[in-house]
Chain A
């Protein structure tokens, strides 16, 4: 098939950027979207032009490296699919495809379609960890956990940190990412000691990075390649309120009777 591609070109975070217009012929249905871009790049290199820079790594839908807003949707038109798992059979001859990077002030463009997502790493560093002892290995089943709770934690843990939630959110909010990370640890017994300090620190870091604030559009949930539920956002709100308003500050002082 023959396609017309409008691709965002930008030399670095400082330059203005513009759309490049490209015609691509002989695109096969069984190519993945990224393979289609590989073909375009070979064509560009052959004709002495600069290839389009885009992120990818595993190309199996699990690493979270690939991105791209395709015709206005993060990771393209299919629900629960990363860009690398999107195949050209979903397009038809003569289609015009607009490809843009994640657009967020917290994710500056490095080049073309590649953005800097280290803001997510800093949110993780702020509290996305649990404290474990480094002594002898404990018996694996020594900590009992409700299977449904374990499953729910795993649902949150499927987040691959790709940033589609931020890209999809009309407000550029990172609530779904932060909520998924907080819940995946906060639901497990191992995550309890830092449960309330974690939510405070990670939310504080999320605000510092310059993400927008959530307006409950649920657009993130719909465009998340792992279909993570906004139930986790509600859970984060609950934990955050509890952490800031209800968790005792002074646990040990004496109290007087009236």
Chain B
């Protein structure tokens, strides 16, 4: 479903964000991407929805090489991919319902179908009763649930979440993660970047650990805590570069 082949990315300011990353996430997988701030988690996710392009290597989504995708085809890639952000990124001038409807308008979904899909998505995250609220009237957890519902409303085969619980308290975070596992149980491939160790340890799913732009650990049923060696490795690399 998601495949990165020997991907490297150097930012224009010379910072090497990713170096020679190889990664495969299969259909229906649920994987955590863990690592400290600056380890390259967000950069890796941004490659998936073509916010960034790698300086080297190839990125495949559902078998399609997206590194060669022309700019005007990018919107169509993003419609096949649900993305959830740490800061929710809801349209502030639109209600929860309108935020979800916008995604469907973009793809010209008929009105009746639209109503059905929005209701389903809001039911799944338990936010039907707040559908007429504006984002500013919601709590952080509710906003994130609305954002997840928006990411789902197109029925994308892949859901990518960048620190979805970064701004939330532990209880709310756990609620969000349960929603994500429920979505995964329906067959959606999920990749979550996080440094929420409690959630990762409790769920015991696949864990991919990034450190200084390299994959240092990939366990099928892993925990958050990294081995001492990988930590020291990062420090030595920073001094080298």
**Physical interaction between A and B:** no
Q: Chain A residues in contact with chain B, CB under 8 A?
A: none
Q: Chain B residues in contact with chain A, CB under 8 A?
A: none
